[in-house]
Structure formats: structure tokens, C-alpha cells
Amino acid sequence: MVQKEISSYFTEQYHSQPLLIKAPGRINLIGEHTDYNEGLVLPASIEKAIYFAVSPNESGTIQIETFLTQPEKITFQLNGNHDKYARFWGNYFKAIIDILVAENYPLKGMNCVFGGDIPIGSGLSSSAALCCGFIYAITKVSGKELPREDIALIAQKAEHKIGLNCGLMDQYAVLFGKKGNAFFLDCKDLSHSYIPINLQGYSWVLVNSNIKHNLAVDSEYNKRRVSCENIVELVQQIKNGVTSLRDVTVEDLHHISEKANETDLKRAKYIIDENSRVLNMMQALTDGNAQQVGEILRQGHWAMSLQYEITTPELDILVKIGEELDGVMGSRMMGGGFGGCTINLVETNKLDTCITALLQNYRERTGIGAEYYHLAIDDGVKVIA
């Protein structure tokens, strides 16, 4: 197991037993592109994680070694005087330390070894796990613990500093996740609650289409954000108290239909419907209605494909194959779009047969080999040893 290897290596290098911290990845069951519209999301933290073995030191530095990509060691000064680092994770940690120094957080010397089993670039939010786990480790060593809400904000600031303009869904899911539960988050006021996943006899599986996000993705994201903002501006002219699409109804769209761009209307309708799908999914999970859960997944996918237009032909093929297989209850693209993975709900006793057929049919139809990962819903960031 990864955590045992990390803990053993730490003991060999630093001759002490470390504190071991687990920072999980996350999936998003439903609620794509709703976060920047102050909407609703339904993520969950998973068993795959990044592990941090840590202990205090008297060196006045934070020494970090990783097995995340290849063995590498970086030393950070507690006063924040350090250069940019070539490795991506070094710049995440630099950003975090810079923020903590600026906020006069009492940093202390720390030894740290980390690594994990979250597949990088799979849409499981390895960056949020990296940032939240590291900040949590610092608070444990320094002796001044921060509320998890504050850790989420610092992690978000760090991502913004290195150029990733993310919301707070990933950080909240990583920090507040609970085993056996989905995590409902209202992105307007950050209120949240736990939704039990009562699906005995079913398994969650992620299938990677191996279609990588292309260079045009950022501009496509921006176009969709602009579409949403255009609709909000038009509705504001006829309705008070509107600050985002969260405050807009389908009826409002009808009232502005003659003034609005047709594409903008279609995209706004997707966001409004997606918020409803989050609410419907919460009820279906609580009721243990696997058929309804699968139907909501399918609805969400084809809405992303036809209304928001953020899927790819390959992702659509993966979902179509699943619709043809007995045992796949439903699937949809997960994440920002234009590549990546599908999340699938599959009958556990038909899991092996379904996965084999899915991968084989996908290769036959596209010529591309896909990968899959079993997903288990687990707790958020925590000390495990």
C-alpha cells in the first residue's frame, strides 16, 4: 500500500515515526459548470488519495520529498524566500507558503514525504488533494489548527496564484467528504450537507477516454461563462435581485427570448436544469433508487453534449456503449469537458463483464484504448496514523 511505503521511507530517512495524513481525490456525481453560476453541486471524496508523512524539525525549513511523479526533494524557507520550482507540485507548495507567510501564520520546521494513487489528470482533483493535504499537515505540525473552511480558501488562493481560476467545490469535497455519503454544496452561500448513498449492490467506475483536453479549452470555458453572464444581464433588466443564473428561472428565459442569443439561451437552460438534476439526484441516492440515479446521469450527459456542448465524440460513444450494456445503470462525462472521463454506475455482480465489453467496444469504435478505475466513497482529509 502506498501509505505504508511512504511511512517506511520517512522512518528510514528521518529516524522517527511520522504523523500520516490522507487527502482524498474527489468525484462529482452531478452538477457540472454550475459552481461559477452560484449553483448546486454534488461531489464525493474517494478512497484514492495523496498521503503525507510529516514530523516537526528544528532546521527552520520545510523539507519535502515526493514519490508522486519521480523521487525529488525540495527545501522551503519559513520566511518565504524561495524561487519558483520546475516541478508542478513545488509551485503549489510555494504558493501556499507565500500565502501563510503573508497572513502571519506561525510556520514551523517540518519534514514531509508524500505520494499517492490518484491518477494525475484523471479529473479526480489531485491538485485540491495536494493543496488541502499539505495545508492540513502544516497546521498539525505548527500546532495552530485552522478551520477547514479557511484551509479551503487558502488552497483556492494557491491555485489562483499559479493560474487556475477554480471555485471551491473541489477543496470542500476533499476536506469535508464523508464515507458512504455524497457532499451537497450550495455554491451561493457555501452551505453544505451529507447525502447518504444507499446503493447496495452497485459500484462506481471511472472510465478514462484518453482524449486529452486541447489548447482551445480555456477559450471555450470563457465563451460559456460569457453566455451565462449575457443572460444574467438581460434578466436583470426585467427582474430585481438577480446576481447570477441561480436567480434565473425557465420562465425568465421565455421573457427575454426575443432579445437573447439562441446559444446563450440554450446554455443558460442547461445550468438551470442541472441545478434541478442535483436536487433529483440527492433524492434518488437517499431512496436507493439506482434506476433513477442512472437516468439522471444519462440526462446530465446528453444535456452537456447537446445544450452546453462540452463533450467529445469519444465521450458520447462511451456513454452510448453503456446504454447498450445490461448492468450499466447510467453514465455521464465528469468534469469541465472537452476530454477526460465518464463516471458510471454499474451492478456489482456484472461489473467485470460490463467493463470488459465497454473497453472492447470503445477500442473497436474509436481505435483508442481506455482505462478504468474503481471508485469507493471515503472520508475527507484526516490523520490516519
Q: What is the DSSP string of 42-80?
A: EEEEEEEEEEEEEEE-SSSEEEEEE-SSS-EEEEEETT-
33 CB-near residues (< 8 Å, 6+ apart):
224, 270, 271, 274, 308, 310, 336, 337
Q: How far apart are CA 123 and CA 116, in angstroms?
A: 15
Provide DSSP, 158-213.
Answer: HHHHTT----SHHHHHHHH--TTEEEEEETTT--EEEEE---TTEEEEEEE-----
Instruction: Tell me the pLDDT band of 213, cut-offs 50, 70 and 90.
Output: low
Strand partners, 30: 42
What does the pLDDT read at residue 81?
82
* pLDDT at residue 70, rounded to an integer: 66
Question: Using one digit for the tens of pLDDT, what is the confidence trace for 65-79?
Answer: 987 666 788 999 998
CB environment 190-212: b (16+ within 10 A), e (fewer):
eeeeebebebeebbbbbbbbebe
359: helix, strand or coil: helix
Distance CA 125, CA 174 (A): 9
Q: What pLDDT, on the 0 to 100 scale, is given for residue 224?
A: 94
> With 90 as the cut, is the pLDDT of residue 358 above it?
yes
Please state the pTM of the whole predicted model: 0.93
Segment among 4-8, 40-44, 209-213, 282-286 with least mean pLDDT: 209-213
Q: Which of 285, 360, 372 is nearest to 329 (CA)?
A: 285
Residue 94's φ and ψ, nearest 5 degrees, are -60, -45
- The Cα 273–Cα 266 span in angstroms is 11
- Give the per-residue pLDDT at 95: 95
Average pLDDT for 90-96 = 93
Quick: pLDDT tens for 172-188: 999 999 999 999 999 99
Task: Dump the DSSP string for 261-275.
Answer: -HHHHHHHHHHHHHH
From 170, 252, 264, 378, the catalytic residue: 170
Least reliable range by pLDDT among 23-32, 68-77, 191-200: 68-77
pLDDT exceeds 70 at position 215 = no
SS3 303: helix
CA atoms within 13 A on the CB side of 347: 11
pLDDT score of 271 more than 60: yes
With a CB cutoff of 8 Å and minimum separation 6, the contacts of 98 are 80, 161
Please give the mean pLDDT across all residues of the chain: 94
Residue with more model confidence, 317 or 212: 317
Please write the tens of the pLDDT for every residue from 36-50: 999 999 999 999 999
Which three three-digit cell numbers place residue 139? Answer: 497546521
Least confident of 146-150, 153-157, 167-171, 253-257: 167-171
Percent pLDDT > 90 in the chain is 85
**Stretch 183-206: mean pLDDT, rounded?**
97
What per-residue confidence (pLDDT) applies to 79? Answer: 84
Average pLDDT estimate for 1-18: 91
What is d(CA 6, CA 20) in angstroms, rounded to the nearest whole number? Answer: 9
CA atoms of 135 and 97, how far apart (whole Å): 9
Least confident of 13-17, 294-298, 349-353: 13-17
Q: How far apart are CA 337 and CA 340, in angstroms?
A: 7
Sign of the dihedral through C-alpha 307, 310, 314, 316: negative
Per-residue pLDDT for 82 more than 90? no
Give percent of the chain with pLDDT exceeding 70: 96
- Positions of E strands within 238-381: 328-334, 341-347, 371-375
Q: Cα dihedral sign for 93, 95, 97, 103?
A: negative
218 counts as catalytic: no
Task: Decide: 301 and 268 in contact? Cβ < 8 Å.
Answer: no
Q: Are 146 and 132 in contact (CB under 8 A)?
A: no
pLDDT at 2: 87
Mean per-residue pLDDT for 307-330? Answer: 97
Q: Which three cell numbers stand for residue 29?
A: 456525481
At residue 28 the predicted structure's pLDDT band, cuts being 50, 70 and 90, is very high
**Does residue 122 register a pLDDT over 90?**
no
Residue 76 CB: number of other CB atoms within 10 A?
23
Tell me, what's the pLDDT at 217?
65
The residue-averaged pLDDT of 138-151 equals 96
